[in-house]
Amino acid sequence: MKASLQRLTALLCCLGAATVLIAQQRSRAPLKTEAVHVEMKNIVYHFTQPIAVGIPWLQGEVVPTRTSSIPVFDDANSFRFKLVYAEFRVKSDILSAVLNQYVFAAPDAPLKAISILNDGDMLKIKGKLHQKNDVPFETRGKLAPTPDGRIRLEVEKAKAGALPVKGLMDLVGLKVADLINTRKVAGVQSDGNALIFDPEQIFPPPHIEGKVTGLRLEADEIVLVFGVKPQKAISGERGNYMAYRGGALSFGKLTMRDADMVLLDMNPEDAFDFYLDRYKDQLIAGYSKTTSDFGLRVYMRDFNKLGSASAEKQH
């Protein structure tokens, strides 16, 4: 009897140790790295403080850029947006900033001091040919999506200095590619009398992944359409929001497994102005609620409404 009791006690101890070991292994298990589903409605999204795009609607995934890692809100290089569908509305002066401050920012970039204006159904671009002793240039051309989902600017008129060069270029057999060397410029390629821009590379991080399926000019905006528009929203939220669901997501000192986080506009009368680099300031100016199933609803103040004192902290 005593021996049986000792064997039973030993068995229970082994089972207890095994239970503790399994619990420890589960707690140390790596976070799932599958994508986080994202949906955005009526957002002004800042890639940098001055570079922002209007996003009336977006559906896609937040995909980690590093193996065995998860998206980290505090690191824009840790993830990218894989677009199922999106509409980007880019003001012409913002596109100028993208080209000047990001695409052609290197000292040896072929183009400098770029300015862009919508001119009817054409785009007018002015700047300097840095490779040609900073000779001023002006071009007019039409935008269209390429079959592989990039953006093609077909130059129809151009002049350098006071000389109309397009006719001269045709006469002597030159092309835009002969004037502008884009071999060292990420996201830009010259092709005959056209420049081809890759939206997956020309915007600052977090980068996007998606193919342009439509393109049009409206007033002072270039409207880029990615993918095919879905039939309905997934999140069911109202107002202006960014909803993140599924997978794992890290922000601040928190990490969500099977993420359920919605960022909501405190002032839904206009677009939700959001800047990832300053999301903590926007969060501090707002408040959050926890749902019954441990989801998070974060009500945030618009970035452009943080106030002059906060604006002085911009970097």
For residues 126 and 194, membership in a common domain is answered with yes
For residues 99 and 202, membership in a common domain is answered with yes
Cross-strand pairs, 222: 90, 217
| Dist. CA 210–CA 204, nearest whole Å | 15
For residues 41 and 82, membership in a common domain is answered with yes
Q: pLDDT at position 176, please? A: 52
Where on the phi/psi map is residue 79: left (φ > 0), alpha (ψ -120 to 50), or beta? beta
C-beta atoms surrounding 186 within 10 Å: 11
**Residue 222 counted as domain residue:** no
For residues 87 and 98, membership in a common domain is answered with no
For residues 85 and 189, membership in a common domain is answered with no
For residues 198 and 98, membership in a common domain is answered with yes
pLDDT over 70 percentage in the chain: 77
**Residue 8 counted as domain residue:** no
For residues 79 and 102, membership in a common domain is answered with no
For residues 112 and 191, membership in a common domain is answered with yes
**Residue 16 counted as domain residue:** no
Over residues 50-77, the pLDDT tens digits come to: 999 999 999 999 999 988 789 999 999 9
> Can you give the residue range of the structural domain that contains 64?
36-91+227-305
**Residue 19 counted as domain residue:** no
C-beta atoms surrounding 202 within 10 Å: 21
Over residues 239-263, the pLDDT tens digits come to: 899 999 999 999 988 899 999 999 9
| Dist. CA 91–CA 223, nearest whole Å | 9
The residue among 209, 242, 271 that closes a domain is 209
For residues 243 and 189, membership in a common domain is answered with no
Residue 304 pLDDT > 50, yes or no? Answer: yes
For residues 188 and 41, membership in a common domain is answered with no
Residue 7 pLDDT > 70, yes or no? Answer: no
Q: How many domains does the chain have?
A: 2
**Residue 279 counted as domain residue:** yes
Do residues 50 and 279 touch, judged by C-beta distance below 8 A? no
Q: pLDDT at position 312, please? A: 44
Amino acid in the structure at residue 295: G
Highest average pLDDT, of 61-75, 105-119, 178-192, comes from 61-75
